[in-house]
């Protein structure tokens, strides 16, 4: 039987840990058919990003439309988007094929701005395009704490400031905001926070002491996307994504001389999360 079909709009990580490679691995482990609209080729390994080749915006839009009209997309997500022109092209293509909260296709916007090592993956002038073009179309946005700081100027250090950040980001128009806590390094646990303008949902989880969390944000967003494609509600899909990422961080493995990737391979031998 044909599995649910999902689309990632993101960059390539030559090291295979993050980006489109992480998304496809998570999609496979979640039992959905993954499709890709490539936005950039990065020259990357576990240590850092040494080069970026950006894909022309019309080619990014054409990839989205090609798979949408033939195969169909049940949920879509974004990762590294590189620049404002690419973001503009994605917004146009999304509207044409019904991706986004005003269309019928759930749309997860992960506002990726830098790699784990701090290398920039989004040009400075593209932050405004993310806020104005993609956040109002998003079913869920999934910033980490560095992205929260870039997007809102807020420094999240505890649950109170995490709630404040969720409210500030909600004002940009997404249906839901998920503020991820991975970068709250002084905290004992990893409590992500989901908000829809009225209700706060806390997603508690353990914090593993490991340097190998490369691709963690991509893997979480891909698991959420897969669950939405199966028809789950946003709180159900995010709870699934959290269970999925906890197991994937637990099973992360060392690779190269830098940060190893999280691993969704455990899923292939388990019946359910
Ligand atoms: N050390 C850890 N132990 C357990 N869970 C973690 C750890 N680090 C991050 N997570 C979880 O992984 C998910 C991704 O969080 P994080 O804030 O690190 O995102 P990110 O920075 O976008 O990821 P990436 O590493 O892909 O850039 C969240 O659910 C977070 O709670
Ligand atoms: C291509 C790419 N996308 C996303 C990330 C962030 O995990 C990365 N390091 N590289």
Report ipTM for this prediction. Answer: 0.97
Tokens coding 155: 């420094």
Segment 53-80, tens digit of pLDDT: 999 999 999 999 999 999 999 999 999 9
Q: What is the mean pLDDT of residues 243-272?
A: 90
Ligand 2 within 6 A of 215 CB? yes
Q: Give the number of the atom of ligand 2 that is nearest the alpha carbon of residue 19.
A: 3
CA-closest candidate to residue 47, choices 271, 247, 258? 258
Tokens coding 202: 């806390």
Which 8-state DSSP code applies to residue 172?
T
Assess whether pLDDT exceeds 70 at residue 273. Answer: no
Assess whether pLDDT exceeds 60 at residue 82. Answer: yes
Ligand 2 within 6 A of 111 CB? no
Q: Please, which pLDDT band fits residue 130 given cuts at 50, 70 and 90? A: very high
Segment 152-178, tens digit of pLDDT: 999 999 999 999 999 999 999 999 999
Is the separation of the CB atoms in 182 and 155 below 8 Å?
no
CA angle 119, 255, 112 (to 5 degrees): 30
Ligand 2 within 6 A of 18 CB? yes
Q: Which domains does the chain have, with CATH numbers?
A: 5-259 (3.40.1190.20)
- Specify the pLDDT at position 102: 84
Assess whether pLDDT exceeds 60 at residue 13. Answer: yes
Q: Whose CA is nearest to atom 30 of ligand 1?
A: 182
Task: Tell me the pTM.
Answer: 0.97
| Gap between the terminal Cα atoms of the chain | 22
Q: What is the mean pLDDT of residues 264-273?
A: 73
- Specify the pLDDT at position 117: 87
**Integer Cα distance of 130 and 231 in angstroms:** 26
- Distance from CA of residue 264 to its chain's centroid? 15
Assess whether pLDDT exceeds 60 at residue 147. Answer: yes
Q: Is 149 helix (H, G, I), strand (E, B) or coil?
A: helix
**Ligand 1 centroid vs 243 CA: distance in angstroms?**
12
Q: Please, which pLDDT band fits residue 272 given cuts at 50, 70 and 90? A: low
Other CB atoms within 10 A of residue 94 CB:
27
More confident residue, 103 or 26: 26
Who contacts 172 (Cβ-Cβ below 8 Å, separation ≥6)? 131, 132, 135, 136, 141, 151
């Amino acid at each position: 039987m044909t599995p649910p079909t999902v689309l990632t709009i993101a960059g390539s990580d030559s090291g295979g840990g993050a980006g489109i490679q992480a998304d496809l691995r998570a999609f496979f482990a979640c039992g959905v058919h993954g499709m890709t609209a490539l936005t950039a080729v990065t020259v990357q390994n576990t240590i850092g990003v040494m080069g970026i080749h950006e894909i022309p915006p019309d080619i990014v839009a054409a990839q989205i439309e090609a798979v949408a009209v033939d195969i169909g997309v049940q949920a879509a997500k974004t990762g590294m988007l590189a620049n404002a022109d690419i973001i503009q092209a994605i917004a146009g293509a999304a509207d044409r094929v019904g991706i986004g909260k005003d269309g019928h296709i759930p749309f997860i916007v992960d506002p990726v701005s830098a790699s784990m090592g701090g290398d920039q993956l989004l040009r400075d002038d593209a932050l405004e395009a993310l806020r104005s073009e993609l956040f109002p179309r998003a079913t869920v946005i999934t910033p980490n704490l560095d992205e929260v700081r870039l997007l809102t100027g807020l420094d999240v250090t505890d649950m109170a400031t995490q709630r404040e950040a969720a409210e500030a980001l909600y004002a940009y128009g997404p249906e839901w905001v998920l503020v991820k806590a991975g970068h709250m390094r002084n905290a004992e646990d990893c409590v992500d926070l989901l908000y829809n303008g009225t209700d706060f949902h806390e997603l508690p989880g353990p914090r593993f002491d490991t340097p190998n969390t490369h691709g963690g944000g991509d893997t979480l967003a891909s698991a959420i996307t897969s669950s939405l494609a199966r028809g789950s509600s946003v709180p159900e899909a995010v709870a699934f994504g959290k269970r999925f990422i906890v197991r994937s961080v637990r099973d992360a493995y060392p690779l190269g001389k830098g940060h190893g990737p999280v691993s969704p391979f455990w899923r292939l031998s388990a019946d359910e999360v």
